[in-house]
Amino acid sequence: MPSSSITIVVPTYRREAVLVETLRFLLASAPNTVAELLVVDQTEAHEPATDSALGALHAQGQIRWIRLSEPSIPAAMNRGLMEASSDIVLFVDDDIRPTEPLLRAHQQAHAEKQDVLVAGRVIQPWQEGEDFSKDTPFHFATTSGRYVDEFIGCNFSVRKSSALAVGGFDENFVKVAYRYEAEFAHRFRQSGRSIWFEPLA
């Protein structure tokens, strides 16, 4: 496995066609830099078309399809973290459309900065095409890199060793797990590590 490889973890719950579309976008974005794509699925039963598509991608070795019996965002993320074969683990939502530099930008940020969590840029559909270069205060669609206090769970990467060193994600956060990112960010920064916002990601 090349040292530049990255594991992508997609925790998912009750997503159908949009999940398959997201996976196809990710697989097409930078296939040579991806060590593996883990789909940590908490859905009880999928629609036949989704089930067939996921089964085919798994059988072809394009994804690893991991099923969980109980829905839990932090538990799914911890499972992805433990299963990852790369030290850099990128977590993304199951309903995204990544831009081409996503993986490369995450990898580059980890190469340039020591022991950081890399928070990626998040552009909502209603924000497409807007110029955020002069915006204050900071928000996650802005275009300038900086150190920040928190991250959004739909697009961030962290070294597996660092995430495990601070105890992983807190599974006491249940249902929508509101603010589990803030709690993890607090522990991560308390350990002497930093969070870098990378707008190219």
User: What are the pLDDT digits (tens) for 187-199?
Assistant: 999 999 999 999 9
The residue range of the domain holding 76 is 6-198
CATH number of the domain that residue 91 is part of:
3.90.550.10
Question: What does the alpha-carbon distance between residue 15 and residue 13 come to, in Å, rounded to a whole number?
Answer: 6
Question: What does the alpha-carbon distance between residue 198 and residue 99 come to, in Å, rounded to a whole number?
Answer: 13
- Look at the block and give the residue holding tokens 């990255």: 6
Position 69 in a domain: yes
User: β-pairing, 34-41 with 6-12?
Assistant: parallel
Check pLDDT > 50 for residue 3: no
DSSP conformational letter for 74: H
User: Which pair of structure tokens corresponds to residue 159?
Assistant: 């070294």
Check pLDDT > 90 for residue 137: no
Check pLDDT > 60 for residue 4: no
User: What are the pLDDT digits (tens) for 69-119?
Assistant: 999 999 999 999 999 999 999 999 999 999 889 999 999 999 999 999 999
Position 49 in a domain: yes
Position 18 in a domain: yes
Neighbours of 2 (CB within 10 A): 9
Position 35 in a domain: yes
Element (H, E) at 19: helix 17-29
User: What are the pLDDT digits (tens) for 13-62?
Assistant: 999 999 999 999 999 987 667 789 999 999 999 999 999 999 999 999 99
Domains of the chain: total: 1
For residue 134, what pLDDT is reported?
74
Position 66 in a domain: yes
pTM for the whole structure: 0.94
Check pLDDT > 60 for residue 1: no
Position 119 in a domain: yes
Residue 152: strand, helix, or coil: coil
165, 191 Cβ separation under 8 angstroms: yes
Position 1 in a domain: no
